[in-house]
Amino acid sequence: MRRPVIFVMLAGLAAMLASVVVYSALKRRDAEVKQALAKTVRIVVASRDLPLGAKIDAGSLRLARWSSDALPEGAFSNPQQVIGSFVKSPFVRNEPIVASKLFMGQKTAGVLPLLIPAGMRAVSVPVDEVSDIAGFVLPGAHVDVLVAIAAGNGVSQPFSKVVLQDVQVLAVAQEIEKHKDQPQLVKVVTLLVTPAESERLALASREGTLRLAMRNYSDNKIVLTSGVDVHQMLNVYSSAPKLPVMPAQAALHHAAMPVHKANKFSVEIMRDGTKSESVSFVQAAAEPTDVRPARNAAALWDRIGTPMASAHAPRAHANSASASAATNSSAPSSSAFAPTPKTLDVP
């Protein structure tokens, strides 16, 4: 009898201990829940997916608890504050409604003005299948704009230049949302630019042909370029670029030029009626810029003519005249040829 009673008492004691443990756990859990609820607030969230440009009504919203430590900036606590506004950026279900994604005014000009930030402009430019990168330029992409201008209107030769960099594509044709990643062949692309960039883009579209160069989403680096013309384009990957001719190379080039065939002639000079001198000359080509051979020839003529004038002046004068005439008729001018003495024979 005593053994069953002991078993019953031990079972009752275990049940009491278990109930105390469970009650304590539930009590602690309830305290944690109350503490967590004390750190939350009720905010307005989307009850369904809201597309771009949708008008918000009462059925589009609901209240949900959100941690006060991670409260989104611009969140609303009263649905009446956002009813009647328009969506500037799409919402998904249970996403908090924030002021930065809403247009609180009266929408009268469609959806596109909702996407243009303050101080920016939307400019549309014509494109084709090539400049639109085969239709892969979609809303939200970032591109560079290049212009290719043909010769004429003050331009000596065709050239190409990057005129805009890291520009956001606002819309393609009439599409302002990227529903899928499939290419879309369109004829017009709308870009988001500043007022100064819009002027540059309008002139480039008027004067040349535009091309779009797509960027990586994370690449926003601005690269300085000088453009390229036809001459620079054709010299790319050249195997033997043309080098400037240096003065030393020019001298070697002139030295290698063929020399004209020399003509030999002689002049006989009489002295005192008994002595004579025979002087031989050679006509050789001279460089136009080198005047030293002409100067040497003039000094030689002066040296030869001086003794002739000292003795037998009349005859020497005649001989000098004849020698001078022979020289003028046979020898060319110093600018083209220069006489050079070769031999001197005195009997």
Q: Are residues 147 and 95 in the same domain?
A: no
pLDDT given for residue 329 in this prediction:
42
Query: What are 214-246's pLDDT values in tens digits?
Result: 999 889 999 999 898 888 888 888 876 555 555
Identify whether 229 is part of a domain: yes
Query: Which tokens sit at 9?
Result: 């008492």
Q: Output the six-digit token pair for 103.
A: 């247009």
pLDDT of amino acid 273: 63
pTM of this structure = 0.51
Element of type H or E holding 141? none
Q: Is residue 186 part of a domain?
A: yes
Q: Is there a single domain that holds both residue 189 and residue 278? A: no
Position 243 scores a pLDDT of: 56
Helices 292-310 and 313-330: angle between axes, nearest 10 degrees: 160
User: What does the alpha-carbon distance between residue 212 and residue 178 come to, in Å, rounded to a whole number?
Assistant: 18
228 and 137 in a common domain = yes
Q: Is the model more confident about 91 or about 131? A: 91
The string of DSSP letters for 87-124 reads: ESS-B-TTPBPBGGGEE-S---S-SGGGG--TT-EEEE
Q: Would residue 82 count as lying in a domain?
A: yes
Whether 61 shows a pLDDT value over 80: the answer reads yes
Mean pLDDT, the chain, whole residue set: 74
- Using alpha carbons, select from 252, 235, 233 the residue that is nearest to residue 243: 235
Assess if residue 108 is contained within a domain: no
pLDDT in tens, 107-149: 666 778 888 888 999 999 888 777 667 778 888 889 999 999 8
Q: Which helix (H) or strand (E) holds 169?
A: strand 159-172
Whether 179 is in a domain gets the answer yes
Reported confidence tier of residue 76, pLDDT bands at 50, 70, 90: very high
Q: Choose one of 186, 216, 234: the last residue of a domain.
A: 234
Q: Judge if 136 and 220 occupy the same domain.
A: yes
Domain count, the chain: 3
In the predicted structure, residue 63 carries a pLDDT above the cut 80 = yes
pLDDT given at position 238: 80
Residue-range definition of the domain harbouring residue 75: 40-103
CA-to-CA distance for 205 and 145, rounded, in angstroms? 10
Domain boundary among 219, 234, 249: 234
pLDDT value at position 261?
53
